[in-house]
Structure 1
Amino acid sequence: MKLNKIIVSLFLSTNSSVLYANEKGSELIEPMMVTIPAGSFQMGDIDEEDAQPIHNVTLPEFSLGKYEVTVKEFRHFVEETGYKMPSECTHQLNGWFSYGKTDGTWENNSLNTNDFQPVNCIGWQAANAYTQWLAKETGLPYRLPSEAEWEYAARAGTSSKYYFGDDPEQSLVCEYENTADLTGENILQRDSNTSYVNFFNGKSSCVDHSAYASIVGMYKSNPFGLHDMLSNVVEFIADCYKDNYKGVQNNGQPWTDQACEYRVARGGSWHWNTFPVGRRGALGEDFVGAVEGFRIALDGVRPTVSSNTKKFVKELKIAQRSEQLKRDAMLPYPDSVKNLTINQEKGLVILNWDKSLQTDIESYRIYRNAASGSTFKLLAANIVGTTFKDANIDHHRYEYTVVAVRQHQQSDYSNTVKTQAPWVHAPGRIEAEAAAELSGSSVARTTDIDGKYNLTGPGGIGDKAIVDYQLEVAQSGNYNLSYRVAAPRDTEGFTLLVNGKELAVEKVTKTGGYNEWQTQTGAAIYLKKGKNKLTLRSRDKNWKLNWLNLTQA
């Protein structure tokens, strides 16, 4: 009986805090805030078309969250209010993010693993609802920051590209931000067979020790004492998005409209290399993704820190220390492989490189691009020598690079080498990926019933894309052009040039979508016998190309 009483007593004692915590508001965590001094600054960026004109903005004193709102903070809002959160989120890695939404929520998605990471998979509406709930519960006018407040706070009195300088070599950023780096490259290749190379704005030349979202506050703050302002997750802003700064107010108030199609998003995420402070983004209010979160703003001086906030800060410091110890225990990444060379012999590619000077290198890995400008994918692993032969090649241009491996960590890539540009023929079918050179587009596996690859990009082939082919014509004469395309809308298509001379302008008509392919008929063109340079110059975006075909008229 005494033992039972002791057990009951212990049970009541250990659960008393839980019972108290279940009372309304007892677990509410007010964000750690930083007081931002009043002042003026030049808002905008001469290098960003939608961030002009540059204009002077004067702001009163206000406060901004020291960190992005975490999963732990957000959880109490959902539990207290029963707010209906999205049940789908663009978050799964499949090469890169799947274009469609997939199962995943703010507390259960493949990219968030810790309560002290910034909350994601929420969307603008839930972020705004959180601020309204927090304001009601505390009696303080918490809100999302205006775009001007965010940029002023992010610049923190600086005028450089980033608040830590211009960083042209991209070597300083890893001290301040969780960005696309060598750590991310290692993990992304391991998890999803994809790369930052040739993706959007590339990767930095340093190591930040985080492949996905990081526990908040792990990196150096900006001069105002704010953390993760340019990366970790993109941050939702109060303003409606407009594509320039014409007619905006100079007092820092958010620009809003009754019909707000898009909201401003600022900063970058772990998913991209670091954006300049002046870079702007736009997201629909109903978009729910895994690289977007938010931080809190408040008029005036930061409030007194509550007891729950103090408890949260202690727990956060423990999580930060634990994470830092793990990062400190990581071995340095191996040095890059030097002097990669390539030779081609009758359909065989032969690669050679210098043996690593580091004696503990265990092996090498070979990465290959399906075509110049595409994404490096693992071709071979556990190579112990310094020679590799590739007999599995098609009739288009490949790129190769090599990394050194030690305890599952791979070095940055070696220099890149390319196979010789192929010759395509007329009459005949020209595979889109057989380009000698291309820009403004990338190569991807095709969804068409015929062919291996197609040309595409983030929004299809870019509107300034240029694709060059080495064309050998068997006989002078007129040739009929046709092409296999996919397009969700009518587009201005492309201009076709031979040896720099414009021969045709081809409009690509809608096929029903990016996965709906159609063969369309083009112009008749005259070609001279012999070797020529065939060029496609894109005149619009939102189209993809599988192949061209030239038949004698």
Structure 2
Amino acid sequence: MWERTDTGFWRHAPSGVLFREVPAGTFRMGLSEAEEATLAGLEFEEGGLTAEDLRQMRPVREVRVDAFLMAWHPLTVAQVRHWLPDYDDEYAGDDDHRVARLEWPDELLEALPFRLPTEAEWEYAARAGTTTLWHRGDMRPGEDAVLDSFGDPAVTTASENPFGLAAMGATGDLCADVYVDGYADAPTDARPRHAEDAERVVRGGAADLYPWQGVDEWLMLLPTTRYEFGEFASIRPVAPLP
């Protein structure tokens, strides 16, 4: 079912979806005071993070993550159609290489042989061993960091982070956890959190707001940005190591 490619991918043979291996490790999850201070030194067009935003990203804690596979990029319209042949995406138009924005993701989740990443796995993969605001550093990201179409391998490769994952944070990726206030009493082993009558967490999503409208949508690219599932979300599945 799995094939190892010459370029370092794991390929899911039935669907052709490419995955990268994310190594095991430990990281500090959440927005630290040092990162907040760095953010404060950047120029904001309007607003920035509120006290409530910061509360939802704390307390910062150390989390252990086991190795796993994560899709190279969120599933595109063409890839979703492998499992849902009649899938239609009003956001993608005629571009089957665009990331699928699922308004009702449960049907796909039931069909997939994969699972959703937990919040901890997603942030760990987005940080990719770095301790700066973004994997590229502490400078405010530009338009080249916002990518949601994956038909050109050269462009996709240029947007990879140190774990070889493309466009982390560019789209709003659905996680296995439900949205729970902050990280108080959250597990330290990357397990998902569950609660009754709660929506799942979404991470990232800058491409969903492009072109930017003179406010700080670029903050959506932060590895720590988290919010509740709303109108639609993308799916970047994960799987155990073969």
Give the TM-score taking structure 1 as reference length. Answer: 0.34
Letter of the 1:214 partner, please give it: S
| 2:135 paired with 1:215 | no
CA contact (8 A) 2:57 2:224 kept: yes
Deviation digits for residues 312-355 of structure 1, max 9, x if unmatched?
Answer: xxxxxxxxxxxxxxxxxxxxxxxxxxxxxxxxxxxxxxxxxxxx
Match of residue 66 from structure 1? 72
CA contact (8 A) 2:20 2:72 kept: yes
Deviation at 1:299, TM superposition (A): 1.7
Deviation at 1:115, TM superposition (A): 1.1
Match of residue 43 from structure 1? 29
Deviation at 1:123, TM superposition (A): 3.0
Match of residue 198 from structure 2? 261
Change in 2 beyond 3 A, CA 1:297/1:260: farther
Match of residue 230 from structure 1? 169
Deviation digits for residues 386-409 of structure 1, max 9, x if unmatched?
Answer: xxxxxxxxxxxxxxxxxxxxxxxx
Report the secondary structure of 1:35's partner residue.
Answer: strand
Change in 2 beyond 3 A, CA 1:110/1:38: closer
Change in 2 beyond 3 A, CA 1:246/1:128: same
User: What is the aligned residue count?
Assistant: 197
Match of residue 159 from structure 1? 131
Measure, in 2, the Cα distance between the counterparts of 1:145 and 1:108.
23
Measure, in 1, the Cα distance between the counterparts of 2:168 and 2:91.
23
Return the match for 1:294 from 221, 235, 240: 235
Matches within 5 A, 1:137-176: 142-168=114-140, 170=141, 173-176=142-145
Report the secondary structure of 1:56's partner residue.
Answer: strand
Deviation at 1:56, TM superposition (A): 0.2
CA contact (8 A) 2:22 2:125 kept: yes
Return the match for 1:239 from 177, 190, 208: 177
Deviation at 1:215, TM superposition (A): 3.0
Measure, in 2, the Cα distance between the counterparts of 1:30 and 1:146.
23
Deviation at 1:225, TM superposition (A): 0.4
Letter of the 2:55 partner, please give it: E
Match of residue 101 from structure 2? 120
Matches within 5 A, 1:162-201: 162-168=134-140, 170=141, 173-178=142-147
Match of residue 59 from structure 2? 53
Change in 2 beyond 3 A, CA 1:51/1:108: closer
| 2:220 paired with 1:279 | no
Deviation digits for residues 191-215 of structure 1, max 9, x if unmatched?
Answer: xxxxxxxxxxxxxxxxxxxxxx433
Deviation at 1:38, TM superposition (A): 0.6
Measure, in 1, the Cα distance between the counterparts of 2:98 and 2:225.
23
CA contact (8 A) 1:147 1:254 kept: yes
| Identity in percent | 27
Deviation digits for residues 108-144 of structure 1, max 9, x if unmatched?
Answer: 4154331111111333423422xxx232xxxxxx201
Matches within 5 A, 1:532-551: none
Matches within 5 A, 1:491-502: none
Change in 2 beyond 3 A, CA 1:114/1:165: same
Deviation digits for residues 146-192 of structure 1, max 9, x if unmatched?
Answer: 01000000000011111111114x4xx333333xxxxxxxxxxxxxx
Measure, in 1, the Cα distance between the counterparts of 2:177 and 2:123.
12
Deviation digits for residues 216-261 of structure 1, max 9, x if unmatched?
Answer: 6634200100001111x2111000110110001100011123x242
Change in 2 beyond 3 A, CA 1:252/1:108: closer
CA contact (8 A) 1:127 1:294 kept: no
Deviation at 1:30, TM superposition (A): 4.3
Measure, in 2, the Cα distance between the counterparts of 1:51 and 1:39.
20
- Greater share of strand: 1
Change in 2 beyond 3 A, CA 1:144/1:240: same
Measure, in 2, the Cα distance between the counterparts of 1:159 and 1:177.
21
Report the secondary structure of 1:52's partner residue.
Answer: coil
Instruction: Please tell me whether Structure 1 or Structure 2 has the larger radius of gyration of its CA atoms.
Output: 1
Deviation at 1:33, TM superposition (A): 0.7
Matches within 5 A, 1:465-544: none
Measure, in 1, the Cα distance between the counterparts of 2:167 and 2:107.
21
Letter of the 1:134 partner, please give it: L
- Greater share of helix: 2
Give the TM-score taking structure 2 as reference length. Answer: 0.74
| 2:90 paired with 1:109 | yes
Deviation at 1:76, TM superposition (A): 2.2
Measure, in 1, the Cα distance between the counterparts of 2:143 and 2:205.
13
Change in 2 beyond 3 A, CA 1:118/1:261: same
Deviation digits for residues 412-449 of structure 1, max 9, x if unmatched?
Answer: xxxxxxxxxxxxxxxxxxxxxxxxxxxxxxxxxxxxxx
Report the secondary structure of 2:82's partner residue.
Answer: helix
Measure, in 2, the Cα distance between the counterparts of 1:221 and 1:161.
16
